[in-house]
């Protein structure tokens, strides 16, 4: 009898000027407990999951079916219990984790023996960009670029960055689809040069362990925050108050509406307490970097 567990971490994509390219895995998880069965049965064990448990119209199962069809295999039915503490449509990679869970489900059930690069390619096709699926798959910070013309993805993983995250999760949803529609089709060469330079500087500062300087560059994105901030009523307040209380830098997580501050271990608790007072209706939570990415336990 088949019995296994798939666990995929949350992510924060974009990270300052790293639009569609830089993301980090975080310690919240989507977990699937899978057992073979004579028919499809889905159980949701969390309020942070969609209401629909109909296996014929379930996001994760649909992804698994598409992958099995792509490899011309048959997906045998299962009983799947799903847990999650990744909030939906908040910019913490719930869809990326669901896409990867579906790919891994097909991989296990159809014995596809997919390489990590194949999983990443499939996941990027479904998501449209690699910056959340790459860290969810590999763990830690991942820099990526999707060459759409030949469908290849270049990645560089960054380990050893010793930074803590505090997330400000608002009580409202914002779908990635809506938040992408607000972005301009084109940017000027001057703006693109500025964004790329700031991104280079941010990565160099992170690698040198100069987190104060990295935080300064994180707050200067020109690719998406200038457009998306209008969707986030407390954007300026959160950035200002977090900086005042010792945050290195604060940015929109993924497509929003969650914002995240990077902070030192020493300043983390003071920042959390202060921000709970500033934005009492938000969930203010510490998050750690997940270093492992997608895990399968047989
Ligand atoms: N575990 C899940 N099971 C089923 N569908 C999911 C799951 N996680 C995410 N989704 C789908 O993805 C949508 C959210 O995706 P998206 O707008 O990209 O936001 P996020 O920033 O959370 O990834 C949900 O509204 C739901 O349709
Ligand atoms: N680069 C994407 C990232 C979306 O991440 P999500 O976690 O909000 O799905 C974008 O900004 O649209």
89 is an annotated ligand-binding site residue? yes
Percent of the chain predicted with pLDDT > 90: 98
DSSP category for residue 229? G
Query: Would you say the CB of residue 221 lies under 6 angstroms from ligand 2?
Result: no
Which helix (H) or strand (E) segment holds residue 36: the answer is: strand 22-36
Which pLDDT belongs to residue 284? 98
Find all residues with CB under 8 Å of 47, minimum gap 6, and list them: none
What 3-state class would DSSP assign to 142? strand
- C-alpha distances (whole Å) from 113 to each of 61, 130, 261 are 19, 21, 38
Pocket test for ligand 2, best of 28, 91, 167 (most atoms within 8 A of CB): 91
- Residue with CA closest to ligand 2 atom 12: 255
Domain 3-158+292-297 architecture: 2-Layer Sandwich (3.30)
The number of the ligand nearest the C-alpha atom of 54 reads: 1
Question: Would you list the domain boundaries of the chain?
Answer: 3-158+292-297, 164-287
Confidence bin at 2 (pLDDT 50/70/90) = confident
Query: Would you say the CB of residue 176 lies under 6 angstroms from ligand 2?
Result: yes
Find all residues with CB under 8 Å of 29, minimum gap 6, and list them: 7, 8, 9, 10, 83, 84, 85, 86, 97
Euclidean distance between CA atoms 224 and 129, whole angstroms: 14
Q: Does residue 169 have a pLDDT over 90?
A: yes
Across 87-116, b (16+ Cβ under 10 Å) vs e yields bebbbbbbbbbbbbbbbbbbbbbbebebee
> How far, rounded to the nearest angstrom, does the alpha carbon of residue 68 sit from its chain's CA centroid?
24
Q: Does residue 279 have a pLDDT over 90?
A: yes
Q: Does residue 249 have a pLDDT over 80?
A: yes
Query: Would you say the CB of residue 66 lies under 6 angstroms from ligand 2?
Result: no
Q: What is the mean pLDDT of residues 161-176?
A: 97
Q: What is the mean pLDDT of residues 218-231?
A: 98
Q: What is the mean pLDDT of residues 246-273?
A: 98
Q: Does residue 193 have a pLDDT over 90?
A: yes
195 is an annotated ligand-binding site residue? no
Top-tier CATH class for 164-287: alpha beta
pTM: 0.98
**Other CB atoms within 10 A of residue 119 CB:** 21
Pocket test for ligand 2, best of 90, 97, 254, 256 (most atoms within 8 A of CB): 254
The number of the ligand nearest the C-alpha atom of 87 reads: 1
87 is an annotated ligand-binding site residue? yes
Average pLDDT, the chain: 97
Q: Does residue 48 have a pLDDT over 90?
A: yes
The 10s digit of each residue's pLDDT in 77-109 is: 999 999 999 999 999 999 999 999 999 999 999
Atom of ligand 1 nearest to the CA of 88: 22
**Other CB atoms within 10 A of residue 173 CB:** 12
Query: Would you say the CB of residue 90 lies under 6 angstroms from ligand 2?
Result: no
Confidence bin at 265 (pLDDT 50/70/90) = very high
Which pLDDT belongs to residue 297? 97
Query: Would you say the CB of residue 20 lies under 6 angstroms from ligand 2?
Result: yes
Across 175-207, b (16+ Cβ under 10 Å) vs e yields ebeebeeeeeeeeeeeeeebbeebbebbbebbe
Euclidean distance between CA atoms 24 and 5, whole angstroms: 22
145 C-alpha to center of ligand 2: Å?
Answer: 14
Q: Does residue 41 have a pLDDT over 90?
A: yes
Q: What Rg value do the Cα atoms of the chain yield, rounded? A: 19
Pocket test for ligand 2, best of 12, 93, 255 (most atoms within 8 A of CB): 255
Which bin fits 152, alpha (ψ -120 to 50), beta or left (φ > 0)?
beta
164-287 and 3-158+292-297 share a CATH fold: no
What 3-state class would DSSP assign to 141? strand
Q: Does residue 1 have a pLDDT over 90?
A: no
Atom of ligand 1 nearest to the CA of 255: 21
Which pLDDT belongs to residue 256? 98
Euclidean distance between CA atoms 140 and 150, whole angstroms: 26
Q: What is the pairing mode between strands 78-84 and 249-252? A: unpaired
């Amino acid at each position: 009898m088949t019995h296994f567990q798939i666990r995929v971490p949350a992510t924060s994509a974009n990270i300052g000027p790293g639009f569609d390219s830089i993301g980090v895995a975080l310690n919240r998880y989507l977990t699937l407990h899978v057992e073979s069965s004579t028919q499809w049965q889905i159980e949701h064990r969390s309020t942070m999951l969609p209401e629909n448990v109909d296996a014929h119209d379930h996001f994760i199962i649909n992804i698994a079916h598409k992958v099995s069809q792509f490899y011309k295999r048959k997906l045998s039915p299962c009983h799947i219990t799903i847990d999650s503490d990744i909030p939906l449509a908040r910019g913490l990679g719930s869809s990326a984790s669901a896409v990867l869970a579906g790919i891994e489900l097909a991989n296990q059930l159809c014995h596809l023996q997919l390489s990590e690069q194949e999983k990443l390619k499939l996941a990027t096709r479904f998501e449209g960009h690699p910056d959340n699926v790459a860290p969810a798959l590999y763990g830690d910070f991942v820099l990526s670029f999707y060459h759409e013309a030949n469908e290849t993805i270049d990645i560089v993983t960054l380990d050893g960055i010793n930074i803590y995250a505090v997330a400000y999760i608002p009580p409202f949803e914002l779908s990635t689809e809506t938040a992408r529609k607000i972005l301009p089709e084109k940017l000027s060469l001057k703006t693109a040069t500025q964004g790329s330079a700031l991104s280079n500087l941010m990565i160099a500062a992170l690698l040198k362990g100069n987190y104060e300087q990295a935080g300064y560059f994180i707050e200067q994105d020109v690719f998406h925050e200038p457009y998306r901030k209008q969707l986030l009523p407390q954007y300026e307040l959160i950035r200002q108050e977090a900086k005042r209380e010792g945050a290195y830098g604060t940015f929109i997580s993924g497509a929003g509406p969650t914002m995240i501050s990077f902070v030192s271990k020493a300043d983390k608790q003071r920042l959390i307490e202060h921000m709970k007072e500033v934005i009492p209706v938000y969930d203010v939570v510490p998050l750690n970097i997940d270093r492992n990415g997608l895990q399968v336990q047989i």
